[in-house]
A and B are shown apart, each in its own frame.
Chain A
Amino acid sequence: MITFIPRDKVSKNWIIIAPILSIVFTIFFGLLIFTFLGYNPLETLYQIFVSPFSRIDRISDILVKACPLIIIGTGLMLCFKSNVWNIGAEGQFIMGALLAGFIALSFPNIETKFFLLITILAGFVGGALWAFIPAILKTKLNVNEILVSLMLVYVAMLFIDFIVRGPLRDPMSFGFPLSKPYPEGALINKIPFPGIGFLGQLHYGILFVFLLVPISWIFVNKTLGGFKINVLGSAPQAAKFAGFKQNSITITVLLLSGGLAGVAGVIEVSANIGQLQPEVSFGYGFTAIIVAFLGRLSPVGILFAGIIIATVKLGADNAQMTMGIPKVVTGLFEGILLFFLLTGETLQKYKIKWSEGKK
């Protein structure tokens, strides 16, 4: 039997040493695997970690990729902090995008960008409504929110699939499952830089991240709401004693995280796709769970975790393009990286105790 015992005090040195050791181990095993498989190990590491930063437009690609991860991860942080396990951000992302898309396509001629405020709000509502289902089931009937939120992901996937093949299909698409393009007013534009033009796909949606991170930091650390969430998560008994209403907190965090996932969906579709299609999310909602934990459930941490995950994903693409390394290999490396980072993080806080197994 292995048991984890919380350490009394987290050593300050280890806070710095643990992540460094994690990286060292990752690199060591990475070198081993790449050498063993016959790829130049140093160049592979360069492609994965450094090449995504090697051009300014590649850095912008990282931001674009990290944007939905950070937005969803921030919402999930609120849930996880208060011990509410929302695993269904993927579905909330889709429903947010879908409701916003429905509204966008209902006004085919709208040009003013103020319309975006409405579609983003619609995205929030769509995602929040989808998260409201597990919220109400948990608080009223004590149904496990992990199962409900997860299964609603598949409902959402099939629902958007149905919508773009049926009611919202563009009649000019020759039967292919695509909606009409969004009107100008519902599109998030790319950011033009004087003298350079556009940087890859870098779009105004990124600004939302830079708003969200400080706001969520203030909310978590400086407000009563954030305090309640923290207490509920780390000491449920104390929260009860203090008279915090557990149910209303549960509902609130689920609505907020669902809403944020929905907003991420609107931004992703409005900025990068421009129409509804059967697949809009590509696993952002699930990856964001890793991002939230990798970021130690703190807003700034999640910002960096989102960037790290995005970097490695783009690096994997680069490694494939330049060196022909298949995605399975870089995927393995990604797994090793996450394993060591999370192990390091856990061992900082917990001691391992080996004991005779009792069955």
Chain B
Amino acid sequence: MIKFCMRIFSLIAFSISVLFFVISNAFAGSPTKVGFVYLTTPGDHGWTYAHELGKQMVEKRFGKDVKVSVVENVPEGPDATRVIRELAKQGNEIIFTTSFGYMEPTLKVAKEFPNVKFEHITGYKRSKNVATGNIRFYEGRYIQGVVAGLMTKTNKIGYIGAYPIAEVIMGINAFAQGLKSVNKDASISVIWANTWYDPVKEADAAKVHIAEGADVLAQHTDSPAMLQIAEKNGAMGFGQSTDMSAFAPKAQLFASINNWGPYYIKKIEELRNGKWNTGDGPNHWPGNVWGGIKSDMLVISKFQNMPANVAQKAQEALDGIKTGKINIFAGPLIDNTGKEIIPAGKALDDGALWGMNYYLQGVNGKVPG
């Protein structure tokens, strides 16, 4: 009986799948198939939402010329390998994997599908058909430091970090550089949330900062929770990844917005023109695409909830970064134990940024681990 049922079942399954295969092939044609893998859902209003906006720009730009498939909530492990492989099998020609933890899964699948192009976001390993892309988030954090330095009355800045990795540490140090440029008395305290996204933990960290006297908060985590706490307690803060002013109309000073759209569009365009490449070469650390304010991959939202003179200083910092007049990590750089990192006249290169495991002057405490 069971055997019989199984046979019938597999027969039905087989015939339906054949049918679908035929149909899908009949309509296959011009559109470029593009796959996206998301860590959470666009409902996080942070990291993944920013990617979703980028995806929407792709759809708007190419219209019927692309067909986009998205898989959300993919854990960074074997599930990622399976989902990426499935996207490749379904004929996607370029697949964007939008979280660091997809690095090994992406490389693994890329080996099996040499003709499919892969773009891994925020990773550092590449191969023939795996390119990487990242944003210079730290540029926005420098401007945050400038604004924080002018806005704080207690001279205490509360910073919520996700994990003590180079990417986050360079953000803290950039913030400290901006802070120092306008206010030598203020200092930054860091609380590690040990998560990228956990509204409860982020809110708790924000409460601790406020209880300890911080009146300007910054975050390198993804949810709007910190800003909501700031809003309730009369503190100020900065939006992360997307404009979060809807969550904190009175507390958000500005947001550093991740703008992935232009990068996605550029890479898809390259693919369609047969010019896709991994851009490997020197000075491409950590990715062949590491764009910031200048290349429009990092967008600074409207300056709000601040006096005109502060907004003007912020605008100057923004312009300075855009024109290259401000080099955030130019010497002399001294870490917070007094050790010289680089003398005057020199500046840290990209490689050195990714080796950061120290705090610069203006940050309290030391890097864990």
Contact = CB atoms under 8 A, between A and B. Distances in A.
Contact of A54 (B13, B73, B354): B13
B296 interface: no
Interface in A67-100: none
A30 to B, nearest CB: 17
A164 B71 CA distance: 28
A174 B75 contact: no
A46 B357 CA distance: 51
Contacts of B165: 174-177
B129 interface: no
A282 B357 contact: no
Contacts of B87: 321
A322 B90 contact: yes
A54 B69 contact: no
Interface string B91-114: 000000000110010000000100
A236 B83 CA distance: 47
Nearest to A177: B163
B338 interface: no
Contacts of A169: 369
A187 B289 CA distance: 33
A176 B78 contact: no
A50 B79 CA distance: 19
Contacts of A64: 78, 82
A189 interface: no
Contact of A272 (B13, B71, B81, B89): B81
B208 interface: no
A161 B83 CA distance: 25
A319 to B, nearest CB: 10
A85 to B, nearest CB: 26
A318 B41 CA distance: 16
Given A174-B166, A176-B165, A54 B83 contact: no
A143 interface: no
B249 interface: no
B354 A282 contact: no
Contact of B86 (A46, A165, A273, A318): A318
Interface in A248-272: 268, 272
A14 interface: no
B231 interface: no
B154 interface: no
Contact of A326 (B12, B72, B83): B72
A335 interface: no
Contact of B71 (A282, A321, A328): A321
A320 interface: yes
Interface in B159-179: 163-167, 169
A53 B78 CA distance: 19
Contact of B41 (A161, A198, A268, A327): A327
Contacts of A328: 41
Q: Range of interface residues on chain A?
A: 35 or more
A145 interface: no
Given A175-B166, A177-B165, A274-B104, A166 B78 contact: no
A216 interface: no
Contacts of A268: 78
Contacts of A277: 76-77, 101
A241 B104 CA distance: 57
A320 B71 contact: yes
Nearest to A53: B13
Interface in A118-158: none
Contacts of B89: 57
A275 interface: yes
Q: Which of A61, A277, A328 has the most CB of B within 10 A?
A: A61
Interface string A274-306: 110101101000000000000000000000000
A200 interface: yes
Interface in A308-359: 314, 317-318, 320-322, 324, 326-328
Interface in B1-50: 10, 12-14, 16-17, 20, 35, 41
A268 B78 CA distance: 8
A283 to B, nearest CB: 8
A54 B89 CA distance: 13
B369 to A, nearest CB: 6
A55 interface: yes
A317 B74 CA distance: 9
B73 to A, nearest CB: 5
A246 interface: no
A175 to B, nearest CB: 4
Nearest to A176: B165
A59 to B, nearest CB: 10
A314 B86 CA distance: 10
A321 B90 contact: yes
B156 interface: no
Given A174-B124, A175-B165, A272-B77, A201 B82 contact: yes
A324 B17 contact: no
Contacts of A275: 104
A48 to B, nearest CB: 13
Contacts of B167: 175
B20 A54 contact: yes
A166 B369 contact: yes
Nearest to B82: A61
B117 interface: no
Given A64-B82, A273-B104, A175 B77 contact: no
Given A165-B163, A317-B83, A50 B16 contact: yes
14 contacts: A51-B17, A54-B13, A57-B89, A165-B369, A174-B165, A174-B355, A200-B85, A277-B77, A314-B82, A317-B83, A321-B70, A321-B83, A321-B90, A327-B73
Given A50-B16, A169-B369, 14 more contacts: A54-B17, A55-B17, A61-B82, A61-B86, A165-B369, A175-B165, A176-B100, A176-B124, A317-B83, A320-B72, A322-B90, A326-B72, A327-B41, A328-B41
Closest 4 CB pairs of A and B: A54-B17, A272-B78, A175-B165, A282-B75
Interface of A: 46, 50-51, 53-55, 57-58, 61, 64-65, 161, 165-166, 169, 174-177, 198, 200-201, 268, 272-275, 277, 279-280, 282, 314, 317-318, 320-322, 324, 326-328
